[in-house]
Structure 1
Amino acid sequence: MKVKIDPERCQGHGRCYDLAPGLFGEDEEGYGQVVGDGVVPPEEEQAARLAAANCPERAIEIL
């Protein structure tokens, strides 16, 4: 599993990095960004799905 954030959709609510801090962080303007290469370890899959489900703009894509 891999995660990706669409920067055109992200509005910087921060739910992704609040819910899955091991997978997402914030840039200098507070917008979400994927940590590392986006590969989700098995123990973080539930957190990735939770972050994606809670993104108001549906900017998180699970591949």
Structure 2
Amino acid sequence: MRINLDRNVCQGHGLCQMNAPHLFTLSEEDGLAIQPSNPIPQEYEEEGRLAVASCPEFALSLIEED
């Protein structure tokens, strides 16, 4: 699975980092999320799904892979 981050939509709420600390960091310059490394390691997929679901701006999208 992959996660796509649209930094033009991100408002820096930080919920992605709070819910998926292994996947997301926040920029020290503007507080916006930094694109996670893809593909997401299997052990962090649940964190990734939670981060995508918790983004109030819908800046994250999930891409399932076969």
Please report the TM-score for the alignment, with normalisation by the length of structure 2. 0.85
1:1-63 aligned at under 5 Å gives the runs 1-28=1-28, 29-35=30-36, 37-63=37-63
When structure 1 is superposed on structure 2, of 26-35 and 50-59 the one drifting more is: 26-35
CA deviation profile, 1:4-51 (whole Å, cap 9, x unmatched): 21011100000001110111111121101123x322111111110100
Structure 1 runs (4+) greater than 6 angstroms displaced: none
**How far apart are the structure 1 equivalents of 2:35 and 2:22?**
9
* Structure possessing the higher radius of gyration over alpha carbons: 2
Structure 1 unaligned blocks of 5 or more: none
Structure 2 unaligned blocks of 5 or more: none
**How far apart are the structure 2 equivalents of 1:30 and 1:39?**
23
Please report the TM-score for the alignment, with normalisation by the length of structure 1. 0.89
- Structure having the higher strand fraction is 1
RMSD: 1.0
Give aligned-pair identity as a percent. 40
